A and B are shown apart, each in its own frame.
Chain A
Amino acid sequence: MDKLKIIDANEHFSPDLESQWIAQAQQGDQQAFHHLYENYHRRIYALCWRMMADKDSAEDVCQEVFVQLWQKITNFRGESKFSTWLHSVASNIVLGHIRKNKTWIQRIFSIEEQAVEDTAVEMPDCSNLDRKIQKLPERARLVFVLFAIEGYRHEEIANMLGMAVGTSKAQYHRARGLLRESLSE
């Protein structure tokens, strides 16, 4: 009797298949959109979690990313890789969410330097470095995630976060310093 063959999604995933799913989703095919979700939601969730440092908010925003993706997927014209476009969309949604949830006093005075409280819920299976990233002050964390993990340039980050390029670089070095210290403890 033949063994039950388990299909490895990664093995069977190809750019051609992805293009097909995108085209079908753009025509309103929810099944194809679900394939895209299955393929990308863990990466988008990781991005949301690292930027927001909060499990529940990351889950909510990850959902919002895919709901908005469904509504706007027809605007993807293949000028960049789909994953690049999707990460860009997701980063902007996360930043919008962070801004929206700030109090007016935080917005005016940029009070965001406090590190995430120790009471924040940690992911049970996240890496040691991820735990340290979660504890970074917000601006340092956002810059670090966008630069070191997502691969944005400081000019792009400065634009996204509304700060000077020099500030972005300074926050990145600050984040690295804090992480180095923290990893040496």
Chain B
Amino acid sequence: MKESHVTDKSAEERLSAAIAQLPKEMSPQRDLWSGIDIAINQSSVAVNQKSTNKVFMPTAWAASVVAAVLLTWLTLGPELSTSQPSVNLVAAMQQDFEQQKHSMLVNFGTPDIKQLPVAMQTELVKLSSAQKTISKALADDPNNSDLLNLLRWTQQQELDLLKQLYSPQWQSI
């Protein structure tokens, strides 16, 4: 029993010593730099294109959904009521959104939106125009919860897009 305990201890010590002596470095058997060199010289354009597409695809999808929902709502939805407009909630949502957007852009160093690829600028314009259209519709039907949700959703899409475009992602790994 005692002998087994001693053997275990000795095995544990041997393992600890072996771990401490593990080499920190190993040399690959082939030259890796040549492949890296080619990749970093060839991929710069492709990578930019790819990263733009990664952001562009979901946003384009989101913008299309907004457009489709708006179109459906405007054509098939209930007649706009002529009740007294109480747009305070919409104004508050819009104000809150503008504040969030402003502080986010300040955090990102107030980037120039005009420096973005045209496709991304178009998406931002589409989201902004969708918000305006929804706000207009809400002015006539201020208690419509679907429209309120749609407005909140488009605002969030715009914030998410700005975040994706400007926040450093690598640091979070």
Q: Are B168 and A46 in contact (CB under 8 A)?
A: no
Interface string of A97-121 (1 = CB under 8 A from B): 0000000000000000000000000
B169 within 8 A of A: yes
Q: Are B18 and A129 in contact (CB under 8 A)?
A: yes
Q: How far is the CA of A109 from the CA of B30 in the complex (A)?
A: 36
Q: Are B14 and A183 in contact (CB under 8 A)?
A: yes
Q: Distance in Å from the Cβ of A47 to the closest Cβ of chain B?
A: 9
Kindly list chain A residues whose C-beta atoms are within 8 Å of the C-beta of B170. Answer: 72, 75-76, 89
Q: Are B18 and A183 in contact (CB under 8 A)?
A: yes
User: How many residues in B have their beta carbons less than 8 Å from beta carbons of A?
Assistant: 33
B24 within 8 A of A: yes
B40 within 8 A of A: yes
B29 within 8 A of A: yes
| Chain A: number of interface residues, binned into ranges | 35 or more
Q: Distance in Å from the Cβ of B57 to the closest Cβ of chain A?
A: 19
Q: Are A67 and B40 in contact (CB under 8 A)?
A: yes
Q: How many residue pairs between the two chains, A and B, have CB atoms under 8 Å in the bound complex?
A: 98
Report which of B11, B24, B29, B37 forms a contact with A183, defined as CB distance below 8 A: B11
A88 within 8 A of B: yes
Q: Distance in Å from the Cβ of A122 to the closest Cβ of chain B?
A: 12
Known: A42-B26, A45-B28, A179-B15. A63 touches B35 (CB 8 A): yes
Known: A37-B33, A79-B171, A129-B19. A30 touches B40 (CB 8 A): yes
B12 within 8 A of A: yes
Q: Distance in Å from the Cβ of B17 to the closest Cβ of chain A?
A: 10
Q: Which residues in chain B, 1-42, are within 8 Å of chain A measured between CB atoms?
A: 7-8, 11-12, 14-15, 18-19, 21-30, 32-33, 35-37, 39-41
| CB pairs A–B below 8 angstroms (18 shown) | A33-B40, A34-B33, A43-B24, A43-B25, A45-B25, A45-B27, A46-B25, A59-B30, A63-B35, A66-B32, A67-B39, A71-B43, A71-B47, A72-B169, A76-B170, A77-B168, A79-B171, A181-B11
A: residues with CB less than 8 A from B are 30, 33-34, 37, 41-43, 45-46, 49, 55, 58-59, 62-63, 66-67, 70-72, 74-77, 79, 88-89, 92, 123, 125-130, 148-149, 176, 179-181, 183-184
B: residues with CB less than 8 A from A are 7-8, 11-12, 14-15, 18-19, 21-30, 32-33, 35-37, 39-41, 43, 47, 168-171, 173
